[in-house]
Chains A and B, each alone.
Chain A
Amino acid sequence: MSANLSASFYLLSGILFILALRGLSSPETSRQGNYFGIAGMIIAIVVTFLSVGNFGMGFVYVLIFLLVGGSIGAVIAFRIPMTAMPELVAGFHSLVGLAAVFVAISAFLKPEAFDLGTVGNIKLASLIEMSLGAAIGAITFSGSIIAFLKLRGIMSGAPITFRGQHLLNLFLGISVIVLIFYLCKFQSNNLFWAIVGISFLAGVLLIIPIGGADMPVVISMLNSYSGWAAAGIGFTLENTALIITGALVGSSGAILSYIMCKGMNRSFFNVILGGWGATDQASSSQTKEQKPVKNGNADDAAFLMKNASSVIIVPGYGMAVAQAQHALREMVDALKKNGVKVSYAIHPVAGRMPGHMNVLLAEANVPYDEVFELEEINNDFANCDVAYIIGANDVTNPVAKSDPQSPIFGMPVLDVEKSKSILFVKRSLSPGYAGIDNDLFYRDNTLMLFADAKKMTEEIVKSL
């Protein structure tokens, strides 16, 4: 296959990838979009086989490896529970990162195969591109592994910080740039390995200081990195499909990080430089004087909601942990039978990744036109009888609007306090991730339901 023809096909698959993302603008077109993506991938792979034109023993091996990897991926995709989606995505990011590193290593060891010159005599631009691709890929890999471990609960979600951490990161960043400069001059293998090694370390150090609830930002950021790594390799291989895809994924991840940061009213650097929580714990313990709370049970909650005309449900990470989405749907069905109008309110940073709550509700067969984003539904709280808060906390805290001293001041929150009564399903009075007390617990119109989210919801269903 001629180079021009294959380049045209790579462009075509790039366009199909754009259409894949475009499809996600609404659930109706999204499935079709996914098929565009698959078509783009098939075209890219077939064209690569044809343009390499080597159909010997190697080709058979490639097919075997492709099928081995493919079956592993397929098994994972079918067996993964929806609640584990954040760690799955983090795991997948790590694979893209590592694949980018491996391709860069091959290109460095055998530049002839990629038309980049000969060993020790690689074109300058290609050297810069491949070493940047390898460095970003390595950071993506080790950073995603840490994110995966934290999300999976294998590693504590608490931020790990030590003195001089930021200085060390800065030093590692600068040394990678210096090493790339020397690599361009001497083209030595050891320099290349050093760049990869230091970048692995940098990825680890970059993610360990970031706390559990900041994971939506981390995952989006790593998503972005995996794109830039792919683009770096795309420049090395002079491959349009890879360059287009890398740019798309890179900007997609960057936008998601921005949306997540805005959802917390924090700057990107504030998140990257380490979490809340560590310093706020002391202050939360001293404000914890005993204030009276109203303690309710499932029957009270059922009675309150049955007699309401509208109920808004506010799910949070606690719902995901308790796997309460199916019980919640049953509860809503029972309420609807009683003529209650029910909708769901989703805060942008609810859960551990962008859109986490929406997927869980969709899994429980909640129609997506009953689920609303913060801006769409926030005014409705004033006309709503009951707000049922299940596993969310900080995103409902009115202190974000009233107290400039609070660490979450300025963060957009759901105006649940405007509804006539509030039902708070929570295991204890402990503060949320931000380490601050939620004033809502002590209001007259709040009924605390101290229980596991799933158990409590199931009990409410029974008494309905």
Chain B
Amino acid sequence: MEIDPFIFRFSIFILSIFIGYYVVWSVTPSLHTPLMSVTNAISSVIIVGAIIAALAGSSEEIFETSNVFGFLAIILAAVNIFGGFLVTQRMLQMYKKKKK
């Protein structure tokens, strides 16, 4: 019997949870705020779905409801991507060691 592709994706999902578990426990507590802002930024990779939705169909279709929702999602995700990575960068620049 052939294995449903869903099972493969599900395996990736479960293994990624485990990777996340071990990686996040090794994050130093002083960087927990940047951790939140960077996870915020990377979860905006949902923009991939937004782009597909916005570009669906021919050029005349871009004002259809489903495409408009795609465009709106692009704006939201883009705010998050730029905002998330930049604010993380800004925070990380501030973490400095003692000047010896």
Contact = CB atoms under 8 A, between A and B. Distances in A.
A343 to B, nearest CB: 11
Given A240-B12, A246-B43, A358-B30, A52 B51 contact: yes
Contacts of A112: 56
Given A61-B62, A110-B66, A114-B52, A69 B45 contact: no
**Interface majority SS on B: helix, strand, loop or mixed?**
helix
B33 to A, nearest CB: 4
Nearest to B27: A24
A255 B74 contact: no
A235 interface: yes
A88 B58 CA distance: 37
Interface in B25-75: 25-59, 62, 64-67, 69-75
B76 A98 contact: yes
Contact of A106 (B43, B70, B76): B70
Given A30-B92, A74-B83, A249-B39, A61 B52 contact: no
A109 B96 contact: no
A233 B28 CA distance: 30
A105 B69 contact: yes
Contacts of B75: 65, 68-69, 72
Contacts of A27: 28, 30-31, 92, 95, 97
A120 interface: no
A20 interface: yes
Interface string A85-96: 100110011011
Interface in A24-49: 24-27, 30-31, 33-34, 37-38, 40-41, 44-45, 48-49
Interface stretch (A170-178, A222-230, A387-395, A404-412): A222-230
A423 interface: no
A359 B33 CA distance: 7
Nearest to A110: B66
A20 B48 contact: no
B42 A40 contact: yes
Nearest to A358: B30
Nearest to B58: A56
A76 B46 CA distance: 20
Contacts of B48: 10, 44-45, 48, 237, 239, 241-242
Interface stretch (A146-154, A161-169, A369-377, A433-441): A369-377
Nearest to B44: A96
A82 B43 CA distance: 22
A58 B97 contact: no
B91 A69 contact: no
Interface residues of B, number: 84
Contact of A73 (B12, B23, B79): B79
A356 interface: yes
Contacts of B57: 110, 113
Contacts of A92: 37, 40, 79-80, 83-84
A58 B90 CA distance: 33
Contacts of B25: 255
A414 interface: no
B3 interface: no
A45 B48 CA distance: 6
B82 to A, nearest CB: 3
A238 interface: yes
Q: Most chain-A Cβ atoms within 10 A of its Cβ — which of B46, B51, B82?
A: B46
A89 B16 contact: no
A57 interface: yes
A32 to B, nearest CB: 10
**What are the 7 tightest A-B residue pairs by CB atom distance, in nearest-first order?**
A69-B78, A113-B56, A355-B32, A73-B83, A73-B82, A247-B16, A106-B53
19 contacts: A25-B27, A62-B51, A66-B74, A72-B78, A76-B87, A77-B82, A82-B91, A99-B76, A106-B53, A109-B69, A113-B66, A237-B49, A248-B16, A252-B35, A256-B24, A353-B33, A358-B33, A362-B96, A367-B96
Interface of B: 5-6, 9, 12-14, 16-17, 19-21, 23-59, 62, 64-67, 69-99
Interface of A: 10, 13-14, 17-18, 20-22, 24-27, 30-31, 33-34, 37-38, 40-41, 44-45, 48-49, 52, 54, 56-59, 61-62, 65-74, 76-78, 80, 82, 85, 88-89, 92-93, 95-96, 98-100, 102-103, 105-107, 109-110, 112-114, 125, 219-220, 223, 226-227, 230-231, 233-253, 255-256, 259, 346, 348, 353-356, 358-359, 362-363, 365, 367-371, 373
